[in-house]
Amino acid sequence: MVRHRSARLETGHRSHACSRPAPLGHGLIVRERDVSDQRDVVIIGAGSSGLSAAKELQRLGISTTVIEGSHRIGGRAYSEELVPGTWFDLGCAWLTDGDDNPFARIADSLGILLGRSTWEAYNNTDNHRFIHNGVRLGREEHDACRRYYDESYEAVAVAAGTDPEPSMSDVIDLESPYAPPFLESVATGWGVDVDGVSCADNTTSTGELGYPVPHGYGNLVAAWGADVEVTLNARAERIDWSGPGVAVETPKGTVKADLVLVTVSTGMMASGEIAFDPLLPDWKLEAIQGLPMGTENKMGLAFDTDVFGPEGRGHHTVWSDNADSAKVDVNGMGFNSVSVFTGGRHGIWLEKQGPQACHDFAVDRVAEIFGNDIRKHVVRSITTAWSSEPWTYGSWACALPGQAHQREPLGQALDDRMFFAGEATSIGSQGTCDGAYKSGIRAAEEIAAHIKGTARDRRPLRTPDPCFSRLHAPRR
């Protein structure tokens, strides 16, 4: 499963730029709410899941307070302008599932154009190049490499049904000459190396990459969520759910509500930075621990001229006998730009070396493909640091071997008072922005059903807003 949700599906993200930083906010004004206001539900996190839940609850006439620890909304959907006219998504980038992705319809409603080229066209046999020791594989080797990929994923699918479940590394041929690029594809696709990936989790994931968002997936999410009132810079420090009601302590005061919806990452929940009173039950902690965060980092490079040539556009996997491997996407989001991906242990290690080391690594990998002359044409770079990102501590949740089933209990409510959403709770669309969106809708429906069932005499639920219904109409 390929994921260019590039690390940062659901809460703030810090980027490192080797030149001037891009402006934050992109002109959008976030509506803020006073945290002292009493509401039915307090939502922790203003990423895709928190925003979709807030919109759905408000549509149903259920009042909300949304708090966000970072300085912006959107979570792991975040865009920066690499150079004028070219946007770089530090987090999710491609719309998985094409027209079936709710953000495809949202983009239509906002007048935001999606790329015309699908991932399948971008990543077809001719455009997906394997580069070994600086030399592109010939057709015969290329086809053999693709067969190895297919055979490896077939072995993973078979192993997914076994008990105890092995890791990917237990079922693939690690001695194959084509193992290195496959291992890189797993490390960047899942954010974890093959010995830490659940075969079952890989098999249940159904999302395929569909359309690029030339003006930035992060910008799309921010524009869609701009009408939700959010209190920024209000990190949840303590959640008192001893009842009745809940109280969430933040640096801006204590938010009180009847219910709470937690949408933060498993990395944040595992960090201990949010205190729960009473403590979370063991089964919930086991779910969090079984779904640790993977790390996929991106390096975006902009060039002052076309250094790729007419056939350079596409997806490249680069590896050599004396250097670490990487994935390189050329002109996927704009002209004269590349995104270089690394993940797993190497991605974390490289991140710790700092932005200059990440920049150098990216330039070296591109030079392996297009020659050393490209070095003098680099005009700007952006690098991500998802492992150390203080709002997520990783890119997305990746199930450990034997732990894929934990996504369901992770999303289960506690005492009909504390509810959970986020990409980690999604089954089939885990690790994606639309998976997070859908989980927010699911949680909102659970909350609405609870409120309707326990407080019928308080107020009737409103009928759907016709404008909201149009947003969910079939995409033309």
Tokens for 407? 């996504």
Output b/e per residue, 7-41; b: 16+ Cβ within 10 A.
Answer: bbbbbbbebbbbeeebeeebeeebeebebeeebbb
CA distance to 136, 175, 342, 442, per residue, from 324 (Å): 17, 17, 9, 41
332 and 281 both lie in a single domain: no
Which residue positions in the chain have pLDDT lower than 70? 1-37, 116-127, 205-209, 454-476
Instruction: Kindly state whether residue 445 falls inside one of the protein's structural domains.
Output: yes
Backbone angles phi, psi at 263, to 5 degrees: -120, 10
64 and 88 both lie in a single domain: no
86 and 174 both lie in a single domain: yes
Q: Which domain CATH number covers 62?
A: 3.50.50.60
Instruction: Kindly state whether residue 411 falls inside one of the protein's structural domains.
Output: yes
183 and 325 both lie in a single domain: yes
285 and 303 both lie in a single domain: no
**In terms of Cα–Cα distance, which of 205, 224, 247, 263 is closest to 69?**
263
As beta bridge partners, residue 49 has none
Domain boundary among 344, 359, 388: 388
**In terms of Cα–Cα distance, which of 83, 25, 48, 26 is closest to 333?**
83
pLDDT, residue 334, reads: 74
pLDDT, residue 124, reads: 57
424 and 448 both lie in a single domain: yes
Alpha-carbon distance 30 to 46, whole Å? 11
85 and 194 both lie in a single domain: yes
How many domains in the chain?
A: 2
329 and 377 both lie in a single domain: yes
283 and 425 both lie in a single domain: yes
pLDDT, residue 331, reads: 83
164 and 192 both lie in a single domain: yes
Instruction: Kindly state whether residue 430 falls inside one of the protein's structural domains.
Output: yes
Instruction: Kindly state whether residue 160 falls inside one of the protein's structural domains.
Output: yes
pLDDT, residue 97, reads: 83
Q: Are 350 and 342 in contact (CB under 8 A)?
A: yes
Please write the tens of the pLDDT for every residue from 135-144: 999 999 999 9
Helix pair angle (344-353, 355-370), 10° resolution: 120
The range of the structural domain enclosing residue 235 comes to 39-73+228-292+399-454
Domain boundary among 337, 357, 388: 388
As beta bridge partners, residue 130 has 317
Instruction: Kindly state whether residue 466 falls inside one of the protein's structural domains.
Output: no
Alpha-carbon distance 85 to 178, whole Å? 38
Q: Which residue type occupies 408?
A: E
What is the SS3 assignment for 65?
A: strand
pTM: 0.87
Torsion of Cα atoms, 310 then 316 then 320 then 324, to 10°: 130
How is residue 28 annotated by DSSP?
Answer: -
Tokens for 13? 């993200």
pLDDT, residue 333, reads: 73
Report the Cα–Cα distance between both ends of the chain, in Å, rounded.
Answer: 28
pLDDT, residue 22, reads: 36
260 and 301 both lie in a single domain: no
Instruction: Kindly state whether residue 58 falls inside one of the protein's structural domains.
Output: yes
Three-state secondary structure of 315-341 = EEEEECCCCCCEEEEECCCCCCEEEEE
Assign 3-state DSSP to the chain and report helix, strand, coil percentages, each to 5.
35, 20, 45
**In terms of Cα–Cα distance, which of 245, 269, 297, 266 is closest to 400?**
266
Instruction: Kindly state whether residue 471 falls inside one of the protein's structural domains.
Output: no
Strands 418-420 and 94-96, how do they pair? unpaired
Alpha-carbon distance 9 to 433, whole Å? 6
113 and 176 both lie in a single domain: yes
